[in-house]
Amino acid sequence: MRRLTVICLLLVAGSAGAQEKDFPGVEKLMSSEDYRAAGLHKLNPDEIEALNQWLVSYTAGEAQALRNTSEEVKQAEQDIRIEARIKGDFRGWSGDTLFSLDNGQVWRQRLEGRFAYNGDAREVVIEKNFFGYYRLTHVATGASIGVTRIN
């Protein structure tokens, strides 16, 4: 449970100054695998809303102090960076692209945009931005797009 708390904390840490309506909710911040593993799929809508409210309040109040003082939180933040290679041919993205990575993860493009690429470089980095969303960057070109993990 402590690890879940740390993960949830990190997922929302960047959104401390955001208005409540800007918070996407724990169900969108976590992968479906993590969401189920944490048992959150068993909660009713009122319980999920209460959890989301608590996360927003906690992030606004105590999260920054924990990010600066807890070694466990610092390590978890470092683990958020994912370096991988796209499996198969990589030709960029076109609006609803799926990215299958050599580490077994699958990510979906979540923002509109197109990027055409004709080359052999398949290395990508996925990092969480200030608002708690993930961004995939093609290392060779520096082109990036918002993504959501689906597996």
Q: What is the DSSP string of 73-89?
A: HHHHHHHT-EEEEBSS-
Query: What are the extents of the domains in the chain?
Result: 2-79, 82-149
pLDDT of residue 103: 93
Burial class of 29 by CB neighbour count within 10 A (0 to 12, 13 to 18, 19+): buried
Q: Which pLDDT band, with edges at 50, 70 and 90, does 7 fall under?
A: low
Identify the pLDDT of residue 29: 80
**Residue range 94-117: mean pLDDT, rounded:** 95
Residue 151's contacts (CB-CB under 8 Å, 6 or more residues apart) are 31, 32, 33, 104, 105, 106
- Residue 3: per-residue pLDDT: 52
Residue 71 has pLDDT above 70, yes or no: yes
Give me the pLDDT at residue 70, please. Answer: 78
Q: Backbone dihedral region of 81: left (phi > 0), alpha (psi from -120 to 50 degrees) or beta?
A: beta
Q: Please state the rounded mean pLDDT for residues 134-151.
A: 95
* Mean of the per-residue pLDDT values of the chain: 83
Residue 79 confidence class, pLDDT cut points 50, 70, 90: low
For range 122-133, the mean pLDDT: 87
Most confident among 2-6, 12-16, 18-22, 134-138 (mean pLDDT): 134-138
Tell me what pLDDT residue 151 has.
85
CA nearest neighbour of 84 among 109, 101, 64, 71: 101
Q: What is the largest CA-CA distance in the chain?
A: 49
